[in-house]
């Protein structure tokens, strides 16, 4: 991003060196020699970024920051500080500065800090733009994904959306965005103007499911005072989305299969075959294939549903998507709560990116909602984030990437963990991923079953 930048420093040599350095990278850079001059310039033209020296004669950096924040809430401010005055820089960050930079002789630290701030600014612009039109929340072009896994998936979604008939199965942990993606497919396809009928298979009691799905004729059963159209009919010309399909009762599985095979059905108590035209999408956080082996899910129905399958990766294996999702949530809750929190301080960014999000995007949104309630500054700080995030920063994170060969990634905070901690975390995760089949886990780990048992026992004793 090419940006307008003000560099404010009373020392001419440093000021001109930074101005030169940034101008060479095609930014529009202006040097200013005092806090007063900066306030005047910001009043006339708020820039994208300000580099602001802490210690200046007359109006110091802190006072200048206090005055420019309300004048230019969108502008990011990086404080320039000398060794030994870092506490003041921290104070400045509490007042809304985005970051700070310790001045060194060669100024080589300037570029990465400026790049990071500008990248953040560019991301904020994109998210703001996407949110301007709430109706286009599901437009493919407005979905902000950075992780290679999600970019690949969205590319495939684009093709599938265009095919009005393709049946889609969405699999993934809770909160990974299965319903969201179903809506994206619906809204970007030829049936976008048709209805999107979402049904949670676990929310409707077993006895009522059939009448809800197929509808009924007057007098079909006691209490059926008049004809009622079922969900299948309501989805005509659009999409029927069956969530938690893995929990569908076996009798209903058989009935659904018949509709999918014949594309016709009868209302309860009816004699007429009705034909329906809809796209079916289903979602589950279970492994349906395994359920067919276990015998809890019909294999023939699985084959009908499993035409196009999307596996949504958990958020912990696509960390690149975390900050864009946080920004989106901040803007959304900011509007709701009437708060103007526009930035996330670097320490909070770090914590948000390191957390493992067992509840995925839904949990991320809850974390941001809570933080926005607690936050009274213009910048979201680490102090507004829940304790789990800070605690987890001190733990070992083991995350799994899906694929033909599932891969475990381990992160270790140097100085806080030992090799033994890593071993325990790794063993625990592999046992969990092997569905607690210890023979399989031992095989993955290259251990004998006996050696694995011995290690697990030792871990238990230490706990």
Ligand X SMILES: Nc1ncnc2c1ncn2[C@@H]1O[C@H](COP(=O)(O)OP(=O)(O)OP(=O)(O)O)[C@@H](O)[C@H]1O
Q: How far apart are CA 278 and CA 81, in angstroms?
A: 63
From candidates 47, 172, 194, 346, binder to ligand X by CB under 6 A? 172
CB of 110 to ligand X, least distance (A): 34
From candidates 179, 249, 369, 411, binder to ligand X by CB under 6 A? 179
Binding mask 79-108 for ligand X (x = CB under 6 A): ------------------------------
Q: How many CB atoms lie within 10 A of CB 271?
A: 7
CB of 28 to ligand X, least distance (A): 33
Nearer to ligand X, 67 or 147 (CB): 147
Beta strands in 370-415, from DSSP E residues, in sequence order: 379-380, 397-401, 407-411
171 DSSP β-pair partners = 284, 311
Q: Provide, for the chain, the percentages of residues in helix, strand and coil under a 3-state DSSP scheme, each rounded to the nearest 5.
A: 50, 15, 35
CB of 128 to ligand X, least distance (A): 14
Q: Which of residues 271-290 bind ligand X (CB under 6 A)?
A: 283, 285
Contact 426, 409 (CB under 8 A): no
Count the residues of the shown chain that bind ligand X, applying the rule CB under 6 A: 17
174 binds ligand X (CB under 6 A): yes
318 binds ligand X (CB under 6 A): no
Binding mask 349-368 for ligand X (x = CB under 6 A): ------------xx--x---
From candidates 15, 27, 124, 178, binder to ligand X by CB under 6 A? 178
Instruction: Using DSSP, state whether 47 is helix, strand or coil.
Output: coil
With tokens 């320039």, the residue in question is 80
31 DSSP β-pair partners = 7
DSSP H or E stretch at residue 29? strand 28-32
342 binds ligand X (CB under 6 A): no
Q: Which of residues 205-264 bind ligand X (CB under 6 A)?
A: 243
DSSP H or E stretch at residue 275? strand 274-275
Nearer to ligand X, 239 or 424 (CB): 239
DSSP string, 167-220: -EEEEESTTSSHHHHHHHHHHTSTTTTS-EEEEETTTS-HHHHHHHHHEE-TTS
126 binds ligand X (CB under 6 A): no
Nearer to ligand X, 7 or 326 (CB): 326
CB of 152 to ligand X, least distance (A): 14
Q: Contact region for ligand X (CB under 6 A) — 34-42, 73-81, 177-185, 372-380?
A: 177-185
C-alpha neighbours within 13 Å on the C-beta side of residue 215: 21
- Contacting residues toward ligand X, per CB under 6 A: 143, 172, 174-180, 243, 283, 285, 325, 328, 361-362, 365
């Amino acid at each position: 991003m090419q940006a307008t930048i003000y560099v404010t420093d009373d020392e001419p040599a440093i000021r001109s060196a930074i101005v030169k350095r940034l101008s060479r990278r095609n930014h529009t850079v202006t040097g200013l020699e005092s806090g007063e001059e900066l306030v005047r310039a910001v009043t006339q033209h708020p820039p994208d970024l300000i580099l602001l020296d802490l210690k200046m004669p007359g109006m110091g950096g802190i006072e200048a920051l206090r005055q420019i924040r309300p004048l230019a809430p969108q502008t990011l401010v990086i404080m320039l500080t000398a060794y030994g005055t870092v506490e003041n820089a921290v104070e400045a960050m509490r007042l809304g500065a985005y970051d700070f930079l310790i001045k060194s002789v060669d100024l080589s630290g300037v570029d990465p800090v400026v790049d990071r701030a500008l990248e953040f600014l560019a991301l904020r612009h994109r998210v703001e733009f996407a949110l301007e039109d709430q109706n286009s929340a599901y437009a493919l072009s407005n979905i902000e994904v950075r992780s290679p896994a999600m970019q690949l998936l969205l590319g495939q979604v684009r093709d599938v959306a265009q095919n009005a008939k393709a049946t889609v199965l969405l699999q993934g942990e809770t909160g990974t965005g299965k319903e969201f993606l179903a809506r994206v497919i619906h809204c970007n396809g030829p049936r976008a103007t048709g209805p999107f009928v979402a049904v949670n298979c676990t929310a409707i009691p077993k006895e009522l499911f059939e009448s809800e799905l197929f509808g009924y004729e007057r007098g079909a059963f006691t209490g059926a005072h008049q004809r009622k159209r079922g969900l299948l009919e309501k989805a005509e010309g659009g999409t029927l989305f069956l969530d938690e399909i893995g929990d569908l009762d076996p009798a209903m599985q058989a009935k659904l299969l018949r509709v999918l095979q014949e594309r016709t059905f009868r209302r309860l108590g009816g004699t007429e075959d009705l034909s329906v035209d809809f796209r079916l999408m289903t979602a589950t956080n279970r492994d349906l294939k395994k359920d067919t082996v276990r015998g809890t899910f019909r294999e023939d129905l699985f084959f009908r549903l499993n035409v196009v399958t999307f596996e949504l990766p958990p958020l912990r294996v696509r960390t690149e998507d975390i900050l864009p999702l946080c920004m989106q949530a901040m803007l959304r809750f900011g509007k709701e709560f009437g708060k103007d929190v526009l930035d996330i301080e670097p320490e909070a960014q770090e914590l948000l990116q390191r957390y493992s999000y067992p509840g995925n995007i839904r949990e991320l949104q809850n974390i941001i909602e809570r933080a926005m309630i607690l936050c009274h500054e213009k910048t979201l700080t680490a102090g507004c984030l829940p304790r789990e995030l800070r605690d987890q920063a001190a733990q070992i994170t083991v995350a799994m990437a899906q694929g033909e060969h599932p891969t475990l990634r381990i992160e270790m905070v140097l100085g806080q963990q030992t090799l033994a901690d890593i071993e325990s975390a790794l063993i625990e995760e592999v046992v969990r991923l092997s569905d607690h089949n210890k023979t399989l886990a031992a095989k993955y780990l290259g251990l004998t079953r006996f050696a694995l048992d011995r290690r697990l026992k030792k871990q238990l004793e230490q706990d």
